[in-house]
Structure 1
Amino acid sequence: MDITPYIGPAFRLLRESIDLSQEELAFRAGLDRTYVSGIERGRRNPSLKSMQRLAAELSQSLDQVFILARELAEKMDDAPVQRRVKKRTSGG
């Protein structure tokens, strides 16, 4: 199971659960706010060191972040898949 796309959302959930802004988390972790935003949105691929710094500022172990990411991935696997349906045009 690939949990990579769920690492950012896991950090976001943890941050929001303690009512901390991205700006404050970034400041505490010594990172740029736009970098933290990119991580949470899955646009940035954080280094292990950055993930450790974020987890520490959220009072979590990196293991706990990975566990939450896996739980999010499992929920998405269980969610029904919505498929796009192409509209058929009546041609002559």
Structure 2
Amino acid sequence: MNKKNLNRVIAISVIWLGGIGLTWIFGSLKSPESLNKLGDFLAGVFAPIAFPWLILGYIQQGKQLDQNTRALEQQEKALNLQIEEMRESVKQ
């Protein structure tokens, strides 16, 4: 995983949650009256920071697929070399 992207997403999350916390404390907001309202509030708070984490996971998965593809190509080359060696040994 790219440390630069990870640090950016962490910074975005911390700034977002810090801003929400400061708004909650200094904005004289009152607590939700019911669990339903609390759930709606929490969904609204955490949904925007879920998207950068989703994108980061997608990028990471793409990089891992590239690495796996390269490893499989290397294995294919090694197997082809073994096949050629076996053919040569059978000819002899």
Which structure: larger Rg? 2
Fold conserved between structures, TM > 0.5: no
Q: TM-score, normalising length from structure 2?
A: 0.29
| Higher RCO (C-alpha under 8 Å, 6+ residues apart) | 2
Q: TM-score, normalising length from structure 1?
A: 0.29
Report the structure, 1 or 2, having the larger helix content: 2
